[in-house]
Chains A and B, each alone.
Chain A
Amino acid sequence: MRDVHYAIGGREIFRGLDLTVRRGRITAIMGPSGGGKTTLLKLITGQILADRGSVRVFGEEVATLGHRALYALRQRLGLLFQNGALLTDMDVFDNVAFPVREHSDLPEALIRKLVLLKLQAVGLRGAAHLLPGELSGGMARRIALARAIVMDPEVLMYDEPFVGLDPISLGVILRLIKQMNTALGITSIVVSHDVQELATIADDSYLLLDGRIAAAGSPAELRASEAPAVRQFMTGSAEGPVAFNYPAPDYLGQLLAEGDE
């Protein structure tokens, strides 16, 4: 991504974003909530197009791709949604089998083996017959992970994979991300604000602040950074150059103002 600008409803999300994801590595993209992390993934998958600048995936400029070429590109990508985004009218097995059935003519017996293999990889082979509504949040995310890897993508993107997970599920997801990367050689992009978790698995990290990359490097380098904004984010402090409070009138003045509802 080179000099990417993107605004929505007059609000600038990206102001000259530069970012490179290296093949075969785990890249962490950190930043505060509402900082455009999910928007970044949408730019990569071509769901939205940048107002200015260049987004290249596998050397192809996303903005210039036609419908067919874009869909061909997406077949090489996988995205794990925050809520799983499983299709609610089919069971877990059919959800994982869905992309295979849509994109190949493989015999059903082979699809069955493939799906069971992927479900086993996320430890949920026994849940194949359940409906998405019967799964917990963590389970749904693991099923979605199985679905995302069933077509063996070259790049796998994770959108806030750690939010709302209990410690066991969290550990499992972390291990799975690492395994996908080491065992299958999948390039991984993990978007999250969980600094500690990311630091244990990421090869490269980017800190996204104010529409730009504020810092880049290994997780250790980011932690050692002296830049005030980076320090504030890594240590989780409300005080610092990154505004925590939404802009508001004077606090005392507003409390004491008469007739204010």
Chain B
Amino acid sequence: MSKSVRGSYLLEGLRRLGSVALFLLQLLGQSLPALARPGLLVKQIYNAGARSLIIIMLSGLFVGMVLGLQGYDLLQRFGSEQALGTAAALGLLRELAPVITALLFAGRAGTALTSEIGLMRATDQLTAMEIMAVDPLRYVAAPRFLGGVIAMPLLTAIFSVIGLYGAQLVGVQLMGVDKGVFWSQTQGSVALHDVSEGLVKSVVFGFACSLIAVHEGYHAEPTAEGVGLATTRTVVASSVLILLLDYVLTAAFL
């Protein structure tokens, strides 16, 4: 790769970063007025949150079940299968629930946000709003952004609960770990800061995913190809950013 090509990649990366940062400032500026329109916000929480419920619940169940199987297999080698509840609960709350929920959110709700806003751009709907003196940032972008930020922690909490149930299903019902031991171990070892670690992660991921999805849609090239590319960029950028932020946050919490 020649120097000039590397330079142009770097410049393009910086340009995008600057564009996202400026967009974030504009969004935050419009977020308070958007909060004053609960109808719009609730609709977006429904779109991003309620409509992602089935995929989140199913994934949570299976991830929990796998955790139950793998955890049991590993722990029984050391004769400590009673600790399955602890392992599953801490693994889910601190790591798996926020990360997998965010990855699924980027694929399900993030892409929907980007393509919806991108198509609104391509069909002149955003321009029409501007001409009608309605700021599309306030009417379209801010409620969708806030909806995503609010929906993510709720989805993460649901993922954790269903995941723990899945782990219990396999560990207790299938592998024969004592039910009382499973739950008392879980209760005894999970502290408030474990829950708050998951909560903080989910809020940060919700913020990042929604920002990327709305930004990509809002700035999509107004063509079929442009909207397609923007949707792809949403998934790729969100996924990488989630994993990167996860590392940073985990390091900060430990």
- A contacts, CB < 8 Å to B: 45, 47, 71-72, 74-75, 77-79, 81, 83, 85-88, 98-99, 102-103, 147, 151
B133 touches A74 (CB 8 A): yes
Flag whether B196 is at the interface (Cβ < 8 A).
Answer: no
Assembly CA distance A98 to B128 (angstroms): 11
B134 touches A83 (CB 8 A): no
Chain B interface size, as a band, is: 10 to 19
B127 touches A47 (CB 8 A): yes
A85 touches B133 (CB 8 A): no
B134 touches A102 (CB 8 A): yes
B123 touches A74 (CB 8 A): no
Contact check: which of B120, B127, B128, B133 meets A103 at CB < 8 Å?
B133
CB distance from B221 to the nearest CB of A (A): 14
A99 proximity list for chain B (CB < 8 A): 132-134
CB distance from B136 to the nearest CB of A (A): 10
Give 18 new A-B contacts, CB below 8 A, not counting A47-B127, A77-B131.
A71-B135, A74-B131, A74-B132, A75-B133, A78-B131, A81-B128, A85-B123, A85-B125, A85-B128, A87-B125, A87-B128, A87-B129, A99-B134, A102-B132, A102-B134, A102-B139, A103-B133, A147-B132
A86 proximity list for chain B (CB < 8 A): 125, 128
B12 proximity list for chain A (CB < 8 A): none
CB distance from A46 to the nearest CB of B (A): 9
A85 touches B124 (CB 8 A): yes
Assembly CA distance A71 to B125 (angstroms): 17
Contact check: which of A74, A87, A98, A151 meets B130 at CB < 8 Å?
A74
B130 touches A83 (CB 8 A): no
Contact check: which of B123, B132, B135 meets A88 at CB < 8 Å?
B123
Assembly CA distance A98 to B133 (angstroms): 11
- B contacts, CB < 8 Å to A: 120, 123-125, 127-135, 139
Assembly CA distance A147 to B134 (angstroms): 13
CB distance from A186 to the nearest CB of B (A): 15
A72 touches B125 (CB 8 A): no
CB distance from A261 to the nearest CB of B (A): 23
Contact check: which of B125, B131, B134, B139 meets A79 at CB < 8 Å?
B131
Contact check: which of B120, B129, B131, B135 meets A45 at CB < 8 Å?
B131
CB distance from B47 to the nearest CB of A (A): 10
Assembly CA distance A98 to B131 (angstroms): 13
Residue pairs across A and B with Cβ atoms less than 8 A apart, 22 shown, are: A45-B131, A71-B133, A71-B135, A74-B131, A74-B132, A74-B133, A77-B131, A79-B128, A79-B131, A81-B124, A83-B123, A85-B123, A86-B125, A87-B128, A88-B123, A88-B125, A98-B132, A98-B134, A99-B132, A102-B133, A102-B134, A102-B139
Assembly CA distance A81 to B124 (angstroms): 8
Assembly CA distance A13 to B132 (angstroms): 26
CB distance from A105 to the nearest CB of B (A): 13
Which residue of the partner chain B has the closest CB to A144? B128
**Most chain A beta-carbon contacts within 10 A, residue among B125, B128, B135, B139:** B128
B130 proximity list for chain A (CB < 8 A): 45, 47, 74
